[in-house]
Each structure stands twice: as structure tokens, then as C-alpha cells.
């Protein structure tokens, strides 16, 4: 039986006393922090880029104990629960998806619980559910430290815990994907009992109420902080990336090496806190811009740097010329906002964008995706925002590689490039600070170009597809060459990615009338044949099928399928029916 979300409050639904449940939620958080009207829930029930569905209510606890009480009420009532922080995921993993659930769903949004605890002199931190990478970056400045990510998820307001739950990131090649074995989380056991698991490495007491209250108030001493033999980051990643002859990818979401407790859980447990390492901030930074028309040049450069350099670069992000052009035109407004106002404004911008689209959707004569159309129109009046030397390289070269270096790696990279390009096709230039900032920002906003293009041209083209794929570390033919029977069905292809770890974002728009689902299956079969893994860093959400390793992990964490049912296209039914 399908669950119909279009009920009115005031009766039993699938065995759930709706009136009583809503009353209990409001008793815990206060009336204004429980949303039941469609307009209020819209912001939380629609994915940032993918997926949407209906929820009975959205509850926003103000502290950890309130979150625990909400979970207890939901579990006792027989509801499904989706834990949600910033809702910035790209594959729809933090919202309901469709309507074929067998129970009402309550979204628990944790953004009001945004505390960060600095421990061990700044070498580690404890992030509560609503704490963001952006806030953490600011908190760590005075310690001379940095978080796991310093751009990307940081800029769109993603949460620290969200990154851990999705094994996100890895573009910073000396840090790897987000990972920890130190966390505090709730799960529902086989008997449908809500339990609290403390693997945080801090003595917080005995009962859930005591532990959560003490953690919320930072009511613990340095002596109560333990340092067990457990990881708070991926300590092997640099060695994995350097293994350039391995026939497996460096990182991907179904990697069983990095599935542990909260890490990789994708919302199948309710995470209250994670403890993660921080990293020394660089003293000096320099960006090198590489251009070539031969993909083999970048393949050789990558292998030389990873196998021969003593000091690895910080990042190395690839951009194809077609993606360069699309980003210049369709991500211009995002670039300008970040460049002029800073990354701190981006979460506010996305919030405004969603509200504008919600209002526009209720006005009959307003076009779909009005905010995208408006921002694109306004951006046309802004002059060219990219540096002259980047534009010259755009005309000269098809393949662009933006390599960020720090401290000792700067001179090592400089010397190598000067010698290498004396005899090879292509060239490089050493960016000024201004050029380097713009080169990195241009690559960062590339992710929004495909969505904007599709919003503007949706009446003329077919569906949009984004595939997040990791190729084996020894793959030489990293640049995509599709067979004609597939290539001819595509209207637009935008390629960018993290070349050092061979993780690429392959964005497509199919031609009008093409079956996007069937075409995607053909593309994924090609990747399978090449030993690739997908998704690589955005997790399965509702867009990808969870591979057996992931599905087994989810079932172990959540045997009754209470949390985030349906993730990875698994069963949405209670007890995994």
C-alpha cells in the first residue's frame, strides 16, 4: 500500500496517530519549530539539485536532547525519519523521494544545533549536527589550522556531519575523503528500540539524556577526553593516490575500507557528533595553470608528480574547454557573488533562490526556475570576469589543469614544469595571487553550469544527467571518448574533475526525446567495463543504486529501515520488506 502524503492533520494514518504525533513534536521544540504546511516544508523536502517528496512534518530541534526526544517520539509512533542538515547534497539523499512509502515521514532538520568544540589545541574538533565547514574554517583560523575541506562544500554551507555521512570530498589529495571512527549516534535496533552509541572517545556519563546534555554544554574536562586507537581522518589516502599502477580507484563511496559507524552511513543512523582531525594551514600558496591539446600530456604529468615529487600539490582540478565556456557564461553570477561578497554569502544566496522559486511557482504567468532565468539575465550585463592569460589559454588549449601548491611544493612544481614543457606540447603559467584565486573559483563554480544551462534551454533539450565516477589509478585513457551511438544522443557534454585521484564529474544533457534512463544505463555499463566506481564522492542518494557492500552496511546500521528509507534505491518499506 502506498502512503498518500496529501492527508489532513487530525486522523490515523497507517497506524500513526497524526494529531498526537504533531502535538508531541511541538511540545518538544515549540510550535514555530514544527512545520506542517506545504509552503513551510517545501524548502526542506526538495533536494538542492535532485529529488523531492512529501513529509508529514519538519521538526527543528534546538539542542541534542530535543533531537533525541523527537527521535523517540517518531520511533514510538512508527514513523520513518530523515535526518537533514544544510540539504546541499547533489543526489537527493537528505529529502524524501517520491511517494511510495509505507509510513509517514518526519524530517528532522538539525541546523539549529550548530556548536563546534575545539579540542587538543585545535588538532581535533567535535562537530554537532548543524555545524558547517564554513564555520569551522573560521573557528580554526586563530589556531593556524584548516578543516577537511576549504572550498566546495565549505562554500555552499554543507555540514561537517553531512560530509562524514557521505564520505564526501577527497580533492585535497593529502587529506582524502571525510572519515572518522569517533562519533556519537542513535540507531534503532532489531527490537525497534532507539539506542545511543558513544564512540566519541569522551566519558559523558551513562544515560542518553546525561550524555547528550553534557556534550551540548561542553560539560567535560580534558581528562575525560580519551585518545583511543581509532582514526579521525583517512590516514592512508596520500599513499593510495601515489599508487599510480593500481587497477582500482583511489576513492569511492562503496569502499568498505571507509564504512564505519557514522562514516558512509548516508543517514541510516542519527548522528549527534563527530570528532575529526584538522590540518596545518599553509604558509604560502601558489597556483599553476596548465594547458594542452593532448590528454596524454596530463596523464604523464600526473604520473610524474604522484610518483616522483617529495611534496605533493594541494589540489589539481581539471576543466575541459567546453566546460570552461559553459562555466564562464552560465556560472558567472555565482562567480561574481563569491568574488565580491565572499563564500559566507553563498548559503544566504541559495536560501533566497529557493524562496524566490517557491513564490514564482504559485504565480501562473511566471516561468519555471525563475531565479535561474533572472540571474542569467542580470549576469549578461557584467563585463568579462576572467583573467586575460586564462582566456588566451582557452583559445590555445582544449584541456586545462589548475594545480594549487603550498610551501615546499611550490618550488618543486615550478622547477619541474619549466623543464617538462621545454620538450612537450602545451604550456603553463604561474598565476599571480589574483589570477590564482579566479582560476580556482572558476573551476569551483563549474558545478552549477549544467543546471543553469538546462534551466534556460529546457524546452529545447532533453533531460540532464550528472555522473560522478572514479576511474582506476592506472587508467591512461581518462578523457572520455564515447561510441557514436551514444555520443550522437547527447546535446551537451561538460567534463571537469580531480585529475590526481581520477575522479570526474561527467555532466550531460541529452537531446530532446531521448530516453535518459536507458542512456544512463549504457553509460554506466561502459564505466563498469573499465573498472570504474560510481558514485565517487556525492554518495548514492536516490540517484544511484547502492552496491551490495553499501546495502549490507545500511541494513546492519538500521535493521528496521527506520532512517532514510529508500536511500540508494533500496527498499522504502519497514523492516526492508
**Predicted confidence band of residue 419 (pLDDT cuts 50, 70, 90):** very high
Q: What is the pLDDT of residues 240-272, one digit of tens each?
A: 999 999 999 999 999 999 999 999 999 999 999
- Kindly tell me the burial class for residue 486, based on how many C-beta atoms sit within 10 Å of its own C-beta (0-12, 13-18, 19 or more): middle
**Predicted confidence band of residue 4 (pLDDT cuts 50, 70, 90):** very low
Reported residue count of the chain is 577
CB 111 within 8 A of CB 160: no
Least confident of 11-20, 439-448, 477-486: 11-20
- Tell whether pTM > 0.85: yes
**Predicted confidence band of residue 3 (pLDDT cuts 50, 70, 90):** very low
Measure the CA–CA gap between 19 and 10, rounded to whole angstroms. Answer: 5
**Predicted confidence band of residue 347 (pLDDT cuts 50, 70, 90):** low
Q: What is the pLDDT of residues 479-504, one digit of tens each?
A: 999 999 999 999 999 999 999 999 99
pLDDT (0 to 100) of residue 157 = 66
CB 183 within 8 A of CB 200: yes
Least confident of 85-94, 152-161, 237-246, 486-495: 152-161
541 grid coordinates:
542518494
- Kindly tell me the burial class for residue 119, based on how many C-beta atoms sit within 10 Å of its own C-beta (0-12, 13-18, 19 or more): middle
pLDDT (0 to 100) of residue 12 = 56
Phi then psi for residue 81, to 5 deg, are -130, 135
Phi then psi for residue 72, to 5 deg, are -60, -45
367 grid coordinates:
516561468
Which one is predicted more confidently, 372 or 275?
275
**Predicted confidence band of residue 329 (pLDDT cuts 50, 70, 90):** very high
**Predicted confidence band of residue 156 (pLDDT cuts 50, 70, 90):** low
Burial annotation 357-384 (CB, 10 A radius, 16+ → b, else e): bbebeeeeeeeebbbbbebbeebeeeee
Amino acid at each position: 500500500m502506498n502512503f498518500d502524503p496529501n492527508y489532513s492533520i487530525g486522523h490515523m494514518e497507517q497506524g500513526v496517530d497524526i494529531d498526537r504525533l504533531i502535538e508531541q513534536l511541538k511540545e518538544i521544540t515549540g510550535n514555530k519549530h514544527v512545520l506542517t504546511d506545504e509552503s513551510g516544508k517545501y524548502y526542506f523536502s526538495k533536494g538542492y539539485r535532485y529529488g523531492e517528496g512529501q513529509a508529514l512534518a519538519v521538526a527543528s530541534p534546538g539542542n541534542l536532547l530535543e533531537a533525541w526526544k523527537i527521535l523517540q517520539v517518531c520511533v514510538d509512533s512508527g514513523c520513518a525519519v530523515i535526518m537533514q542538515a544544510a540539504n546541499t547534497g547533489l543526489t537527493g539523499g537528505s529529502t524524501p523521494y517520491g511517494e511510495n512509502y509505507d509510513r509517514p515521514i518526519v524530517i528532522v532538520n538539525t541546523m539549529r544545533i550548530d556548536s563546534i568544540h575545539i579540542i587538543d589545541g585545535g588538532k581535533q574538533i567535535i562537530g554537532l549536527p548543524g555545524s558547517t565547514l564554513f564555520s569551522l574554517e573560521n573557528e580554526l583560523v586563530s589556531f593556524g589550522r584548516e578543516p577537511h575541506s576549504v572550498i566546495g562544500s565549505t562554500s555552499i554551507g554543507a555540514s561537517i556531519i553531512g560530509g562524514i555521512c557521505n564520505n564526501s570530498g577527497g580533492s585535497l589529495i593529502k587529506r582524502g575523503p571525510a572519515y572518522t571512527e569517533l562519533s556519537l549516534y542513535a540507531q534503532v535496533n532489531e527490537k525497534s528500540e532507539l539506542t545511543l552509541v558513544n564512540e566519541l572517545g569522551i566519558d559523558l556519563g551513562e544515560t542518553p539524556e546525561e550524555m547528550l546534555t553534557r556534550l551540548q554544554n561542553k560539560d567535560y574536562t580534558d581528562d575525560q577526553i580519551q585518545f583511543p586507537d581509532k582514526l579521525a581522518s583517512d590516514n592512508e589516502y596520500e599513499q593510495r593516490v601515489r599508487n599510480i599502477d593500481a587497477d582500482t580507484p583511489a576513492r569511492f563511496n562503496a569502499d568498505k575500507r571507509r564504512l564505519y559507524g557514522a562514516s558512509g552511513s548516508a543517514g541510516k543512523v542519527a548522528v549527534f557528533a563527530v570528532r575529526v582531525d584538522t590540518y596545518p594551514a599553509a604558509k604560502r600558496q601558489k597556483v599553476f595553470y596548465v594547458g594542452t591539446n593532448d590528454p596524454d600530456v596530463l596523464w604523464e604529468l600526473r604520473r610524474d608528480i604522484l610518483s616522483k615529487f617529495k611534496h605533493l600539490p594541494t589540489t589539481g582540478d581539471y576543466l575541459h574547454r567546453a566546460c570552461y565556456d559553459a562555466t564562464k557564461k552560465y556560472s558567472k553570477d555565482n562567480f561574481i557573488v563569491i568574488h565580491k561578497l565572499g563564500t559566507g554569502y553563498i548559503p544566504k544566496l541559495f536560501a533566497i533562490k529557493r524562496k524566490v522559486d517557491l513564490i514564482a511557482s504559485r504565480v501562473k504567468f511566471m516561468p519555471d526556475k525563475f531565479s535561474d532565468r533572472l540571474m542569467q539575465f542580470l549576469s549578461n550585463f557584467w563585463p568579462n570576469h576572467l583573467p586575460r592569460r586564462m582566456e588566451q589559454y582557452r583559445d590555445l588549449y582544449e584541456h586545462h589543469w589548475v594545480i594549487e601548491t603550498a610551501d615546499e611544493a611550490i618550488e618543486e612544481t615550478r622547477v619541474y614544469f619549466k623543464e617538462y614543457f621545454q620538450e612537450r606540447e602545451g604550456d603553463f603559467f604561474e598565476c599571480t595571487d589574483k589570477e590564482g584565486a579566479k582560476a580556482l573559483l572558476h573551476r569551483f563554480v563549474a558545478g552549477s553550469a549544467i543546471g543553469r544551462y538546462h534551466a534556460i534551454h529546457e524546452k529545447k533539450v532533453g533531460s540532464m544527467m550528472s555522473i560522478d565516477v572514479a576511474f582506476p589509478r592506472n587508467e591512461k585513457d581518462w578523457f572520455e571518448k564515447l561510441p557514436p551511438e551514444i555520443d550522437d544522443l547527447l546535446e551537451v557534454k561538460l567534463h571537469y574533475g580531480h585529475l590526481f585521484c581520477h575522479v570526474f564529474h561527467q555532466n550531460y544533457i541529452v537531446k530532446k526525446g531521448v530516453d535518459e534512463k536507458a542512456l544512463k544505463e549504457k553509460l554506466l555499463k561502459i564505466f563498469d567495463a573499465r573498472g570504474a566506481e560510481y558514485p565517487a564522492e556525492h554518495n548514492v542518494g536516490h540517484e544511484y543504486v547502492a552496491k551490495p557492500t553499501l546495502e549490507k552496511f545500511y541494513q546492519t546500521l538500521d535493521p528496521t529501515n527506520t532512517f532514510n528509507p529508500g536511500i540508494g534505491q533500496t527498499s522504502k518499506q519497514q523492516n526492508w520488506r
